[in-house]
Amino acid sequence: MPTLAGFGDFRLTDETALMMFLAANDRRHKVYVKLTGTRGGTLQGPVDADWMHREWSRHVTLAKITNLRLSSADTKVLSLPGKWKTQQQLIDWMELHNRLHLHIEQVLKLH
């Protein structure tokens, strides 16, 4: 299964890369739903407050299932009130997001 790491370098204004990220992320979460028996609808865009909340909620649930302890700093980075506002905010979010996915996939033996 390819990683999402390749999407971590896109620019805040790169809508093509954003659409690719959203599609890959949505597919990944659908795999997690099948393997864990959790619920979950689509995680396709647009990236807004609702999308950020759904993504945050899924990762908190998956962290509990995979025994990953999320610090308050981690949840703060992951739970933005809307789309990223700065390139640094996007980078920080993507780095944490990718680490979470790697952990989840290791526990679910997808690597």
What ranges do the domains of the chain cover?
5-107
> What is the pTM (predicted TM-score) of this model?
0.85
C-alpha 44/C-alpha 21 separation (Å) is: 9
Tens digit of each residue's pLDDT (9 = 90 or more) over 44-55? 889 999 999 999
| 3 CB burial (10 A radius; 0-12, 13-18, 19+) | middle
In order, the DSSP letters of 33-60 are HHHH--------S--SHHHHHHHHHHHH
Tens digit of each residue's pLDDT (9 = 90 or more) over 16-63? 989 999 999 999 999 999 999 988 777 888 999 999 999 999 999 999
CA distances from 36 to 33, 65, 68, 78, 95 (A): 5, 8, 15, 21, 24
| 89 CB burial (10 A radius; 0-12, 13-18, 19+) | middle
